[in-house]
Every structure is written in C-alpha cells, then in structure tokens.
Amino acid sequence: MEITGFWTAVLAWGQRKTIIQKANALFALMGESPYEFIVNHQEPERQRFLEFKHRTFQSLDTLYFLSFLQHHYRNHDSLEVAFLQGNTMAERLINFQEYFFSLPYAPSRTRKHIPSPARQSTCKRLNMYLRWMVRRDTSGVDFGLWSRIKPSELKIPLDVHVDRVARNLQLIDRKRTDWVTVLELTDRLRQFDPLDPVKYDFALFGSATMEP
C-alpha cells in the first residue's frame, strides 16, 4: 500500500480516470505485487517498463524509481522512515528529496517528480501521499498506516482547485501559490481543528470539482 500510494501520488496529474488507468498499468507490470517485485526483481526485469510513461513521467524516471525503491526496501521495512528527518514538515520534505536522489546515478531530469519546499513548491502530491499514510478515516480514503507522524503535522495538498476555493472563502491572503501559502492555509484550517487540519482537504477539493 505504501508503494502503490507513493507511485499513484507521483502520477496524480491530469484526469482521474487516466491516473487510475496508468497506475493500474504500472502495477500490472509488477505482477500486481508491488512490494515483492520491488524487493526481489533483477535488473533485466526492468526492461518491461521501458514503454511506460505518463505525461512527463518517462521510462528513465520509472527505472530510477524502481532502483531507489529497491534500495530503500532492502534496507528498511517502511517508507515512513524516509520522512522523519527534520523538525518541521518542510525540513522533512527537503531531506526526503535529498535522500531520494542520493544514489550516484540519479538522473537530473527525474528530480522534478519529487518536489521540495526548498524551491517553494507546494509539494501537493507528497502532502497528499502523507495524508493517505498518516490520517485514518472510515471511508477507505486515508489508510493511517503510519504512526510516527501525527495528523496535526500534515500540510494541505494545495493545487489550483483547492487554492481557488480557499481564496473564495477568504482563507488565503497571500497572492502567490507556493509553500508559504500551504503553511498559511494549513494554519487557517488548524483554527477549526488543531489536531487534524488536513481533513478539510475533502471539502475544499470537493467544492472545486462541483463548481460549474
């Protein structure tokens, strides 16, 4: 679930139907057993992924993701540990990106698929992934697999849709849409629920998709 969630979050731009199709195609190449494939596959088995792509996510990116995930899961039981280095969420995401690209053959073009607050990115996909892994709900959307990160530490997954709705509701004053805006909106939502501010992502994103 960690692996499928992480990769699906990375591929999550464009139409929802297409994202699901691409994610399913990717995991089919792993024999529908992502963890077993990641840990045990040999390099020749990566040839089957050369035709996989989604928008700007190309085969070179796929091959590096396979390499990194194999490296990580052969040394750790969970991807959670990769998000624990730092005192703030910004520091943790910055350190995660540095760790993700720490292998000596990391291609520079692949870095754009793992954003960082160091470049003022909103880190929408990573924040969404963390929401899935950390929060637990009763609807099967957020799985709550991890316990070492608290829901109160999460940041809102901010994209153009959530940004627009939040501005219409006067929850954002900052004119730019960047990491500082993520912090501003999360702080506003924390006024409603200090222990779980990101739960309001459902309402904000849902309102955006229902707009005419």
211 pLDDT above the threshold of 80: no
| Residue 178 covered by a domain | yes
Using one digit for the tens of pLDDT, what is the confidence trace for 33-52?
999 999 999 999 999 999 99
**With left for phi above 0 and alpha for psi between -120 and 50, is residue 140 left, alpha or beta?**
left
Residue 37's domain comprises 2-119
Angle at the Cα of 29 from the Cα atoms of 35 and 126, rounded to 5 degrees: 55
23 and 104 together in one domain: yes
Helix (H) or strand (E) holding 199: none
First to last CA, the chain: 34
Our count of domains for the chain comes to 2
> What's the chain's average pLDDT?
95
| Residue 158 covered by a domain | yes
111 and 159 together in one domain: no
Residue 107's φ and ψ, nearest 5 degrees, are -75, 140
56 pLDDT above the threshold of 70: yes
10 and 115 together in one domain: yes
Using one digit for the tens of pLDDT, what is the confidence trace for 71-82?
999 999 999 999
204 pLDDT above the threshold of 90: yes
Percent of the chain exceeding pLDDT 70 equals 98
What is the SS3 assignment for 66?
helix
9 and 104 together in one domain: yes
Last residue of a domain, one of 119, 134, 164: 119
The CA distance from 111 to 100, in Å, is 9
| Residue 205 covered by a domain | yes
Residue 14's φ and ψ, nearest 5 degrees, are 105, -160
86 and 189 together in one domain: no
11 and 82 together in one domain: yes
Q: How far is CA 137 from the centre of its chain?
A: 18
154 and 98 together in one domain: no
Q: How far is CA 33 from CA 10, 36, 162, in A?
A: 19, 6, 33
| Residue 124 covered by a domain | no
11 and 112 together in one domain: yes
Using one digit for the tens of pLDDT, what is the confidence trace for 122-177?
999 999 999 999 999 887 789 999 999 999 999 999 999 999 999 999 999 999 99
The CA distance from 6 to 2, in Å, is 6
Please report which confidence band the pLDDT of residue 92 belongs to, taking 50, 70 and 90 as the band edges: very high
13 and 114 together in one domain: yes
88 and 36 together in one domain: yes
Using one digit for the tens of pLDDT, what is the confidence trace for 5-29?
999 999 998 888 999 999 999 999 9
152 and 82 together in one domain: no
